[in-house]
Amino acid sequence: MESQWVFNFLLVLQFLLLVALAVWAFRLSRKLKRFERSAQEVEQAQKKQVQVLASGSIGMGRRLVAIEKRLNMAVERQSELISKEGSSVSYNRAMELLEMGASVDDLVSKCGLIRAEAELISLLKKESRKAPSSSQSY
């Protein structure tokens, strides 16, 4: 009888251990599900942050491209202005040299003009000298 009692006691003890183990496993699975949900929420928040950053960087890239285009246009305009200023300086210098009696060849060599430009400036200068005398004859 005593062995029967020990057997029953061990059987009840095993049953209680099994119930305790089942409760522990159930609680552990609930914690795991909560952890999973929180990890998914964090993942979603991070995805949203990445999307915001990506769209921001795309917008910034577009603005950078627009600024780069404007800068290139400004550089081109500046180059054009510099070249125009340089050519007007050459023409002014050519006029001064013509007043001092320089030849077309002198204009080509000293002002960096092509021969046709130098000849045209020389002709214009000669015509401007003739114009005051012809207007006086009227």
**What's the whole-model pTM score?**
0.42
Give the C-alpha distances (Å, rounded to integers) separating 62 from 47, 52, 65, 71, 110: 22, 15, 5, 14, 48
CB-CB neighbours of 113 under 10 Å: 20
Range from 75-84, 106-115, 125-134 that averages highest in pLDDT: 106-115
pLDDT, one tens digit per residue, over 41-87 is: 999 999 999 999 999 999 999 999 999 999 999 998 888 777 766 66
- Percentage of residues in the chain having pLDDT higher than 70: 88
Residue ranges per structural domain of the chain:
2-128
